[in-house]
Copies of this chain bind each other. A is one copy, B any other.
Amino acid sequence: MARAKRQELVETALELFHREGFHATGIDRILATAGVAKMTLYHHFRSKDELILAALRLRDERFRNEFMRSIERKSDDPEQRLLAIFDVLAELFGSGESGGCPFINACAEYADPDSAIHRAAAEHKRMVLDYVCELATLAGARDAVCLARQLCILLDGVIVTAQVSGNADSARLARQVAVLIVREQLGSG
């Protein structure tokens, strides 16, 4: 397979960027870990920034895919799926994952909203929002956009709280809040 080394490179980069940060992770470290020559990297990517973008793209695909699949496995009912967001989150943190969100981290290191990396992160969040918005619409929310945005604020809050304070059960607390706002938007108990 031709693209094997490229893939290895992006996977390794994603993991190291996630664990150590973007600026703190040098090209040489990625190369040594992936077992790839430097010229191979610059054959596939013009710069480190493009490797970062590729890593974020991979993460975006994987995360959204698994996120949606996990939610949809929890229930068939759209209303329950809105709440399942936080059950999935709880499971994620329960299984060790607590290094925060790579996209939030990316915006921390690349603060300029016009930078390609920051924009990629913003786009990821927008796509997650769009998905939650679909669920909210299917659930018959009065204002699906508003509800989805509120749930996403909770979602990001949970991720950050888990990362900063190591608080795994914040997903459970957020779920309680989600119950209230979903119930209110759907007009009944």
Residues of chain A whose beta carbon lies under 8 Å from any beta carbon of chain B: 19-21, 23-24, 99-100, 103-105, 107-111, 113, 118, 121-122, 125-126, 146, 149-150, 152-158, 160-161, 163-167, 170, 173-174, 176-177, 180-181, 184
Q: Which residue of chain B is the closest to A157 with respect to CB atoms? A: B157
8 nearest CB pairs, A to B: A157-B157, A23-B23, A153-B157, A108-B108, A105-B108, A156-B160, A156-B157, A21-B109
Closest approach, in angstroms, between the C-beta of A128 and any C-beta of chain B? 11
CA distance A113 to B184 in the complex (A): 38
Question: A164 to chain B: which residues have CB within 8 Å?
Answer: 103-104, 107, 118, 121-122, 125, 156
B121–A149 contact, CB under 8 A? no
B126–A165 contact, CB under 8 A? yes
CA distance A115 to B173 in the complex (A): 27
CA distance A150 to B179 in the complex (A): 13
A181–B170 contact, CB under 8 A? no
B166–A122 contact, CB under 8 A? yes
B163–A107 contact, CB under 8 A? yes
CA distance A163 to B167 in the complex (A): 22
Question: A158 to chain B: which residues have CB within 8 Å?
Answer: 153, 157
Question: A113 to chain B: which residues have CB within 8 Å?
Answer: 166
CA distance A107 to B125 in the complex (A): 20
Complex partner residue of A154 from B23, B99, B109, B157, CB under 8 angstroms: B157
Q: Which residue, A19, A109, A156, has most C-beta atoms of chain B within 10 A? A: A156
